[in-house]
Amino acid sequence: MRVAFIYPATDFDQEYHAEALPMGLLYLTAVLERDQLAEIDLFDSRHGDALPSPSRLSEYDVIGFTAMSMQVTHALRLAQWIRDSGYRGKIVFGGPHASVASDHLRGQPALDAIFIGEAEETFPAYLRHLSDEEVTLGRTWIRDGSGEWVFHPGSCFVGDLDQLPFPAREKYRDLTARCRFINMTTTRGCPFQCNYCQPTKEILFGKRVRRRSVDNILAEIEDARRRFGIDSFSIDDDTFTFHRATVQEFCERIAPLGLRWSCQSRSDIDRETLVAMRDSGCEMIFVGVESGSQRVLDLMDKRNTVEKNAAFIITCNELGIRTWCNMMIGYPGETCEDMELSLDFVRRTRPTRVCVSQVTPFPGTRLWEWHRGDVIHSDWDDMARHVQRPKFRSMRRMQRLIRLYSGAMNRTMEGPFIADVVPTKGLWGAILRRFPSLLRFAIRRELAFSAELERALGDARSGDVASGIKRLQRLLRNHPDNPDVIAHLAWLHMGKGDHLTAADLYRRFIGTRPGDAGAHFYLGRALSQLGDHDQAREAFERALEIAPDHSEAKDALTQLQSAVGT
């Protein structure tokens, strides 16, 4: 039997997800080829043809699509084109949208079958069914000979994830070898009940979290190193960090390979585990903070706290782990005060990257069901893809505020903090709330600040420290509380031996960032050079209170105690 799988990449996918592989299709391909049930051709317009040519359609017994809700309109257009081209084989759909909105797909005349949830067991059974074998079908809608849809129930979830073959990445061999990177999943299922996700994830993967063994995960990484020469990877499932002992074992065993990696996570990871992750090569963690307002988090059923999220990002900053902070704005009932709390969260936690989008109610979620009458719904891909458009009628009147606060919170990778220069209170705050388009002037000001800061640092790096200090002093007059300017100025004074000025600047920095262990450490170094051993000891001890694993502070304190005889 011969099967064509179609990944219906949209323009959005082409621009933002060009290198993300469709893991569901690749797992299913690997199963079918391992069991010799079908020959598979995979079509993806991001890296080749979008579809088989009309002359080749008849070569395939089945053409299968995966689709998220934001892709489904495009996927259905492609499926109808295939049918209109005279294709007489089976056209089937699976993936997230099929799993939660099968009623929508059952109204499409081109389709013959719809698969709910995981398909590594149900799709092979369907192929055997087409070959007239006696099989038990499960979690599948099939159109019968009279054109009526018949549902075959079941609870078909893969019991042991280790028994699955590794994804068929050879279908994207050139891309994987060029990027030297893979994305992978280590678990299925989610125990949390965030209402913008659930019960969709339970429909897709069941209520129980299933976990691959560390042996199996490492074997996949080693396989990708051998076949594609990868030097980095990303773990994309939400619950990789959910089981502490597994993460600790993984870190211990992945560290000797010298690979760079990233992962998704909630914020409930302890410091010891974060240290182990960093030391094993973890460079970035993607975390769904969603809001700086506890009231909004509770509305979302996040079962997490603002302060836990803040502590997590601050700890990652201290440890040198970059954070990609995903936030939502425009949740039904969200107020200006809630948005202000989210902006304040960004200001005080300083994530490496902040990505803000308007809340989107995806079909099948509780958010969708609870607010269905409030949803602005024109087209599936239009609603889901445009993350800056309003999704709820009740939030239309808040669009000026939403544009203001989302623009102020967003931060490009290690780019300027727009939040630092956006006044949201007082007269200027009132003006910006009324005319959010004026935000571009604040952004322009921040970009000019960043450019001048880079010129100052460039002067210092090229050896002209005096010019660098002068530029930084001018910036400090205009931005007296900016921690980046203060920290760089302190460092340059430290380097030229002006320890008194450096100590004053580090104290000033600590006034804006009291939880920064590095600042306390450098203050201690400056005070040591000035001979103020008691205050230096206090600074080193404070650094270690904040970051107990701060090795430089430990060494400095030991040396200080040895030097003064205490």
CA–CA gap between residue 436 and residue 442 (Å, rounded): 10
The residues, ordered by sequence, that sit 6+ positions from 514 with a Cβ below 8 Å of its Cβ are: none
**Per-domain boundaries in the chain:** 2-152, 190-434, 446-564
Distance CA 557, CA 552 (A): 9
Q: Name residues of the chain where pLDDT drops below 50.
A: none
- CATH assignment of 190-434? 3.20.20.70
The rounded distance, in Å, linking the Cα atoms of 94 and 119 is 8
Residues 322, 283: Cα–Cα separation, whole Å = 6
**Rama region for 320: left / alpha / beta (φ>0; ψ in -120 to 50; rest):** left
Count of residues in the chain: 566
Q: Which of 345, 387, 391, 390 is nearest to 368 (CA)?
A: 391
CB atoms under 10 Å from CB of 18, counted, come to 11
Distance CA 262, CA 272 (A): 17
Cα dihedral 552/557/560/561 (nearest 10): -150
CATH class of 446-564: mainly alpha
Largest CA distance in the chain: 93
Domain 2-152 has CATH 3.30.540.10: no
For residue 5, what pLDDT is reported? 98
